[in-house]
Structure formats: structure tokens, C-alpha cells
Amino acid sequence: MCIPAARPRLADLLGITLSLTCLVHCLALPLLILLAPALGTWFAMPEWVHAAILMLALPAATFAMTDGWRRHGRALPVLLAGAGLGLLAAGLAAHEGWLALAEPEAADRLLTSLGAIVLATAHLLNWRWRHIFREHLR
């Protein structure tokens, strides 16, 4: 059974969107909260947001990277996606207090931001190499 070409691209786009959403949540939102303390409670995200983003990113990355691997055969996007998901999971663990850290909030922001950047990079490479492979076949 052949997967329509639009589905893996959609999975990469979803992965990029989720990664960037994560990055905005971790970097821009705290900055806005610092700049406008009176609006801090209005911008507050529910506690489940971290877990929800990770649970959406995991299947999107798995689907996109599996299809990319089959099409272009390059391991770098898969390795980066695994590292990015691992960093996101570590950020969630820091956020939830599952890691014994002196500064869990700082670790959460750092790990989640790095994870989002690495995962978005994986999806961008996967998307680009899938496109190059497709053009090569023509």
C-alpha cells in the first residue's frame, strides 16, 4: 500500500508547527509575562499543555520520519527527531518535578526550547530531502 505524498508532508508540517508552538510557549510567553505582570494570569497555560504537545509531536515525528527514511534513506532527520523528542520529554519531566533539579523552571524552558528547535530542524531536513529525492526521480 502506498501512502499518498501529501500525508508525510502534512506530518512534517504538523511537526514543525508543534515545535514552533512549543518554542513560542517556552520563550515568548515568559517574556510577555515578565513585561506585563498584570497580564500574567491571562497568559497562563494549563498544566497539561506540555504533555499534550509531546503526545501530538511523537506520532507526527514518527510518521514523518518513517516515511522520510523510506524515501531518502538519510538517518540525520531520524536521529535529530529522537534527540528533539528526548529533550522535550526531559523538559516535561523538569516541569512536572520528576527530576531533582535546583532550577526546574529554567531547566524546563531550556530543555523544551532546545527540543523544539532540534525537532523542527529534523522536520525541515526531512521535508527538504524528501523533496530533493522526489525531484531526483523525475
- The letter for the amino acid at 114 is L
> Is 28 domain-assigned?
yes
**Per-residue pLDDT, 40:** 43
> Is 1 domain-assigned?
no
Dump pLDDT digits (tens) for 85-113: 999 999 999 989 999 899 988 898 889 88
Decide if pLDDT at 118 tops 60.
Answer: yes
Q: Please state whether 101 falls in left (phi above 0), alpha (psi between -120 and 50) or beta.
A: beta
Count of the separate structural domains present in the chain: 1
Judge whether 104 and 73 are in contact, CB under 8 Å.
no
User: What is the domain extent for residue 40?
Assistant: 7-137
> Is 2 domain-assigned?
no
CB atoms within 10 A of CB 124: 16
Confidence at 35, pLDDT banded by 50, 70, 90:
low
Give, in degrees to the nearest 5, the angle at Cα 54 between 52 and 55. Answer: 65
Over residues 112-118, mean pLDDT: 88
> Is 81 domain-assigned?
yes
- Determine the Cα–Cα distance for residues 25 and 101; give it in Å rounded to an integer: 21
Strand residues in the chain grouped as ranges (E): none
For all residues of the chain together, what is the average pLDDT? 81
Decide if pLDDT at 34 tops 60.
Answer: no
> Is 95 domain-assigned?
yes
With H, G, I as helix, E, B as strand and everything else as coil, classify residue 138.
coil
Instruction: Identify the residue with better confidence: 79 or 104.
Output: 79
Closest CA to 65 of 75, 51, 55: 75
